[in-house]
């Protein structure tokens, strides 16, 4: 019988990567094969990881907010943290059943410096199970206001870096929609969101602009880029915010004023508590 090459011989798989984890993430098939779809998925995982890797230097604690099945946390731990003497990944998720599955997987993979908390955002803000300061906060495809919750958590825990991939932003668009007639009577700019599809798209864009201004108001330097090509996902905006030696953690002087002006211009001032604090 012809002997097959072990999965580690696949060129895309890096030395030391956990084969069992890649199978669990459905990147490798159960017999250790890599098909075209999973090869594309692995490429996307590496693409995101390369943005986060420079932020992990000197890191002690990474909190993955709205972790779901904690795929991002597992990948980062496997690639960059398990070989270190220190550093931990904490997955924060409200669904207890997902937290339990993540705990079981971490134990099976022998990833001792991964732990998982089943708690709400409010609980996470004050939980003594988390250190007073978290170095890196991530939130991958956190739907609607969950991204804002992750930002609030990052600010409360004095994170040095925040990595966000927002998804399904609906709150701003809903507020714009509720005041559409009033806005159309006040300004011709309301034509930008008169049609429902434009309301949805502009609302999503405004949401992320306001998030960036909030982070800048708290002393972060912000970069916005594509996560993957548009052919793979329409939700591909990657926001990276860092407090660095270069900016000294100094707030952008007019960030709050700009955010307030945008809220007024688009008749969504009721959302000020979410984006200005």
Strand partners, 242: 161, 221
Cβ burial of 194 (10 Å; 0-12, 13-18, 19+) is exposed
In this prediction, residues 80-87 reach a mean pLDDT of 95
* CA distances to 22, 40, 140, 236, 276 from 164, in Å: 23, 21, 6, 10, 18
Please give the residue that has the higher pLDDT: either 2 or 192: 192
Q: Is the pLDDT of residue 242 over 90?
A: yes
Return the domain boundaries, the chain.
49-275
Helix (H) / strand (E) element for 167: namely strand 161-167
Q: How far apart are CA 233 and CA 226, in angstroms?
A: 10
Q: Is the pLDDT of residue 210 over 70?
A: yes
In this prediction, residues 116-140 reach a mean pLDDT of 92
In this prediction, residues 60-83 reach a mean pLDDT of 94
Percent of the chain with pLDDT over 70: 92
Buried b vs exposed e over 217-256: b needs ≥16 C-beta within 10 Å?
A: bbbbbbeeeebbeeeeeeebbbbbbbbeeeeeeeebeebb
* CATH fold label, 49-275: Rossmann fold (3.40.50)
With cut-offs at 50, 70 and 90, classify the pLDDT of residue 78. Answer: very high
Instruction: Give the least confident one: 43-47, 76-80, 229-233.
Output: 229-233
Q: What is the pLDDT of residues 255-275, one digit of tens each?
A: 999 999 999 999 999 999 999
* CA distances to 113, 122, 260 from 106, in Å: 9, 25, 44
Please give the residue that has the higher pLDDT: either 232 or 216: 216
Q: Is the pLDDT of residue 230 over 50?
A: no
Predicted pLDDT of residue 145: 87
In this prediction, residues 205-233 reach a mean pLDDT of 86
What is the rounded average pLDDT for all residues in the chain? 90
Sign of the alpha-carbon dihedral angle for 93, 94, 95, 101: positive
Q: Which among 95, 53, 35, 47 is positioned nearest to 70, based on CA atoms?
A: 95
In this prediction, residues 101-120 reach a mean pLDDT of 96
Predicted pLDDT of residue 234: 53
Predicted pLDDT of residue 43: 82
Predicted pLDDT of residue 220: 96
In this prediction, residues 4-12 reach a mean pLDDT of 59
Question: What does the chain come to in residues?
Answer: 277
* 3-state class (DSSP) for residue 207: helix
Predicted pLDDT of residue 53: 95
With cut-offs at 50, 70 and 90, classify the pLDDT of residue 45. Answer: confident
């Amino acid at each position: 019988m012809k002997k097959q090459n072990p999965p580690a011989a696949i060129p895309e798989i890096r030395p030391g990567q956990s084969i069992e984890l890649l199978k669990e993430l459905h990147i490798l098939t159960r017999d250790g094969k890599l098909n075209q779809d999973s090869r594309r998925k692995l490429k996307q995982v590496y693409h995101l990881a390369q943005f986060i890797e420079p932020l992990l230097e000197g890191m002690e604690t990474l909190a993955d907010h709205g972790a779901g099945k904690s795929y991002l946390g597992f990948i980062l731990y496997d690639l960059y943290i398990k070989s270190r003497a220190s550093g931990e990944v904490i997955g924060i998720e409200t669904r207890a059943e997902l937290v339990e599955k993540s705990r079981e997987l971490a134990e099976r993979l022998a990833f001792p410096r991964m732990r998982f908390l089943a708690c709400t955002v409010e609980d996470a803000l004050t939980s003594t199970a988390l250190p007073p300061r978290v170095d890196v906060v991530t939130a991958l495809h956190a739907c609607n206001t969950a991204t804002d919750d992750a930002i609030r958590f990052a600010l409360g825990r004095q994170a040095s870096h925040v990595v966000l991939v927002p998804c399904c932003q609906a709150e701003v668009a809903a507020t714009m929609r509720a005041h559409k007639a009033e806005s159309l009577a006040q300004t011709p700019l309301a034509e930008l969101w008169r049609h429902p599809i434009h309301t949805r798209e502009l609302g999503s864009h405004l949401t992320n602009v306001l998030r960036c201004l909030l982070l800048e108001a708290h002393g972060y330097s912000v970069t916005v880029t594509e996560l993957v090509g548009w052919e793979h996902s329409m939700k591909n905006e990657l926001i990276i915010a860092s407090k660095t030696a270069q900016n000294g953690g100094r707030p952008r002087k007019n960030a709050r004023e700009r955010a307030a002006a945008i809220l007024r211009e688009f008749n969504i001032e009721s959302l000020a508590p979410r984006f200005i604090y």
